[in-house]
Structure 1
């Protein structure tokens, strides 16, 4: 006799008498449409997969916390940094960018590094990568860039012609391309890589004074990478290698940790720095703006259910809290809309109410209805504002700090067009062995490109970054550096 606790029920809570046989007209059927348990079971099964993410489709996640180790309240009033020793719970999702949900973990690709902090004043999402820069610096180019990373509409195969055509026509991509093609393009595990907020953000303190800030997560496990042949073998033998490694490490009590540091730039420096500090294809020199330790992030608990926690987790750089704001970074500005909109399409208008996304602080909004509204939908409380019945009101002390804007509205790019100094500096920092592997990787990636025009155009970018860089790529492809 089944107890109430383990009694199988339908989704509406009624006991199921037979879960092995459908209701039929006689032993041979046909099946009766009145078998509502069968119909509900099949209909739900057809809907078990939400649309996968357009980018960052495959990921792994874990719970943990951030512990503050240094007082930075002179820079920000954000509650998660309020005092040394404070712990804020968080959830992290790591991911590859271009591949589908069933793709391999060990491909050469940037890794998403998204952190959701469940703070006292609402959720704060820091949605970055394992690289400090990105391929493009204006969101208007993002759909085109991602199209080049996807499959050809006719062959349904990956298309190196599109990849290198786009990169060769977008010289701002050179810095990220160089990083991607170095040894760090294939992390050994998700635990052995750094993370970055990538964009420039703004911190505001309790007096309303602001600074520009960049985030760095420094792995305490050390940076380790995979050789391409090892990565390829793992892709064949265990395409879920990174997912498995993270889960097992936490399960065994080997909790991965990162030191969270920031670079701080005075607001006025943005007008005089040697390049635009809001350009996400550039890094700030750590000689100019040294790393300042903030805290320590530790991952110590695995998800109980992958779909509910990792797949349904939604992150957006627009999920902000008092004391943290955005910058004029054109790529970031576009992401403020695009990420939330993607979640509303993929998971639903009420995605923030799901357990993995729900803030630990109280939520008081006038938003009502919509698909998958799982709470009391505001009950009988007032549903408009302003109102005279005591509904939630804005708190003026949490208004954004004012900032100046100027100029004529126009479609304009960044003034700074030096796309070569930083990739060249990176190339020259590499050891000879690292340079040789970089050249070998790029040559191997470019050989399938059918057009010599595309190859030569890209070689010119490498050459402008460093002549040796361009010459070695050209020689590897059996071409000459163009005049």
Structure 2
């Protein structure tokens, strides 16, 4: 949490008299003097103050996220503006005007922690709500779809966005090899978003957030709906061209971090209007695609946006590492009446995100102040011990559910969800590859038409693809042209023309 106001957890062990000590609290006489044999002799192993400083310095970085390593964040609140209790019974929605404190972290996906804010990449848009029913994490992106719908492909896909294991360079061959492989061409919708100017947002304030996944929300009567969430920027959409993004990456690679911090600092708090789309089980059965398909959007004409509230970010962190780098988001962090659907990528994320934090920060990452469910508190006698247990460890409480102790549960207060989806069938391996025919290209073609409504956007899409793929091999380039020909022949030809000219120029420059 923030270091301001009622929260003193970050500073409760800090001396108010500002006397400098070692990590054990012993005052240090002189910060730069080292114990040695004589003035110019070897150092002494007994100099704990020196060893304390050096040993901690070696360990002051936690492993960076993989992916979403590079990011920025701020605190704020979510305010309910519209009654949606007919859709969701979560306490955070129970009263119009109710505010819930939150933390949002924005990020790029593929780059390292020191990479540029302007990279051509989806943006993470993760928000932690500190609700009275526990911490709720909306772990979203700034695009409504993604590249895959088979979770087993996620490590493979991310590796294609990282560095070549031999050259240690970014590898266009790997990226386009993955995207153009026939079984992976379901990615086409997201690839077109990525290589339009939407792939390089101008700032974090000027982009939307989307759940992407389908979720299941229930009201207190037990009625349930499939739900997708949209956070629409109140600042308006603003993007960079490919050349502007490249220039910005060299001149000010942290421009989005700077923009977010300075706007909040000056009182210009960014905000997003939160909407939902809802769908019944009966409607889902009539769709031309699966409701669990992460590569598809729900048409707004069939499933209109319904306003819920406002997300406002009005408070910068006091300490980036403590409050942003250590912030741990996971879609498994949920609250009553908001559940995961059977979307297979979401199902895999329920495990992988929390597990990543146990590796990155430690098994007690939820005890770090920024991750604590301070609004609801925590009690589970069996979740105990482990490295960095700092919350008292439940004291003398038995570490199991003892018959001599009283325990309370709230399931009796919630409607049983057994009337919802019913799944039957054998356990089978299923590769949800690109579908036969053109079904997975329909929305990509519609997107290309949408781009055509703004002068120059289709041309910029072709240009952005061409300058990226031109460094790939001739075989990969040809596969790329064939992929985009399934969207539009003119698009494919425009990519081919510029890419081949670029490739020839690169080849000539080597001689």
TM over 0.5: yes
Q: Which residue of 1 aligns with 2:396?
A: 380
In the alignment, is the contact (CA less than 8 A) between 1:276 and 1:414 conserved in 2?
Answer: no
What is the rounded CA distance, in whole Å, between the counterparts of 1:425 and 1:470 in structure 2?
16
Q: Which residue of 2 aligns with 1:337?
A: 351
Q: Which residue of 1 aligns with 2:260?
A: 246
Which of 346, 358, 361 is the matching residue for 2:376? 361
The aligned runs of 1:114-129 (5 Å cut-off) are 114-129=126-141
Does 2:461 match 1:461?
Answer: no
Query: How far 1:389 moved relative to its partner?
Result: 1.6
Which of 61, 64, 74 is the matching residue for 1:49? 61
- 3-state secondary structure, aligned to 1:84: coil
In the alignment, is the contact (CA less than 8 A) between 2:220 and 2:415 conserved in 1?
Answer: no
Which of 181, 201, 208 is the matching residue for 2:195? 181
In the alignment, is the contact (CA less than 8 A) between 2:73 and 2:106 conserved in 1?
Answer: yes
- CA RMSD after TM alignment: 1.6
- 3-state secondary structure, aligned to 1:39: helix
Q: Which residue of 2 aligns with 1:255?
A: 269
What is the rounded CA distance, in whole Å, between the counterparts of 1:262 and 1:353 in structure 2?
32
Query: How far 1:469 moved relative to its partner?
Result: 2.3
Q: Which residue of 2 aligns with 1:22?
A: 34
Does 2:498 match 1:476?
Answer: yes
Query: How far 1:457 moved relative to its partner?
Result: 2.3
Aligned pair count reads 476
Query: How far 1:18 moved relative to its partner?
Result: 2.0
Does 2:409 match 1:409?
Answer: no
Residue deviations 1:408-455, cap 9 Å, x none? 2111244982210000100011134100000011111110011x3322
Query: How far 1:398 moved relative to its partner?
Result: 4.5
What is the rounded CA distance, in whole Å, between the counterparts of 2:273 and 2:166 in structure 1?
46
What is the rounded CA distance, in whole Å, between the counterparts of 1:416 and 1:39 in structure 2?
57
In the alignment, is the contact (CA less than 8 A) between 1:427 and 1:469 conserved in 2?
Answer: no
Does 2:289 match 1:275?
Answer: yes
- 3-state secondary structure, aligned to 1:198: coil
- 3-state secondary structure, aligned to 2:128: strand
- More deviation, 27-36/374-383: 27-36
Query: How far 1:222 moved relative to its partner?
Result: 0.2
What is the rounded CA distance, in whole Å, between the counterparts of 2:93 and 2:71 in structure 1?
28
Residue deviations 1:113-149, cap 9 Å, x none? 0000111100000001100000001110000000100
What is the rounded CA distance, in whole Å, between the counterparts of 1:203 and 1:84 in structure 2?
18
What is the rounded CA distance, in whole Å, between the counterparts of 2:308 and 2:358 in structure 1?
33
Q: Which residue of 2 aligns with 1:424?
A: 445
- 3-state secondary structure, aligned to 2:485: helix
Q: Which residue of 2 aligns with 1:195?
A: 209
Query: How far 1:202 moved relative to its partner?
Result: 0.5
In the alignment, is the contact (CA less than 8 A) between 1:420 and 1:461 conserved in 2?
Answer: no
Q: Which residue of 2 aligns with 1:441?
A: 464
Residue deviations 1:374-422, cap 9 Å, x none? 1101100121025322245564434762231122211124498221000
- 3-state secondary structure, aligned to 2:371: coil
- More deviation, 20-29/275-284: 20-29
The aligned runs of 1:67-216 (5 Å cut-off) are 67-169=79-181, 170-216=184-230
- Structure 2: unaligned runs, 5 residues or longer: 1-14, 502-511
Q: Given the superposition, is the C-alpha separation of residues 287 and 440 from structure 1 closer, same or farther in structure 2, using an over 3 Å criterion?
A: same
Query: How far 1:183 moved relative to its partner?
Result: 1.2
In the alignment, is the contact (CA less than 8 A) between 1:382 and 1:391 conserved in 2?
Answer: no
What is the rounded CA distance, in whole Å, between the counterparts of 2:403 and 2:486 in structure 1?
62
- 3-state secondary structure, aligned to 1:54: coil
Q: Given the superposition, is the C-alpha separation of residues 478 and 39 from structure 1 closer, same or farther in structure 2, using an over 3 Å criterion?
A: closer
What is the rounded CA distance, in whole Å, between the counterparts of 1:256 and 1:115 in structure 2?
14
In the alignment, is the contact (CA less than 8 A) between 1:276 and 1:416 conserved in 2?
Answer: no
- More deviation, 31-40/300-309: 31-40
Q: Given the superposition, is the C-alpha separation of residues 310 and 329 from structure 1 closer, same or farther in structure 2, using an over 3 Å criterion?
A: same
- More deviation, 453-462/301-310: 453-462
In the alignment, is the contact (CA less than 8 A) between 1:79 and 1:120 conserved in 2?
Answer: yes
Query: How far 1:55 moved relative to its partner?
Result: 0.5
In the alignment, is the contact (CA less than 8 A) between 1:187 and 1:224 conserved in 2?
Answer: yes
What is the rounded CA distance, in whole Å, between the counterparts of 1:401 and 1:368 in structure 2?
30
Q: Given the superposition, is the C-alpha separation of residues 361 and 133 from structure 1 closer, same or farther in structure 2, using an over 3 Å criterion?
A: same
What is the rounded CA distance, in whole Å, between the counterparts of 2:412 and 2:228 in structure 1?
27
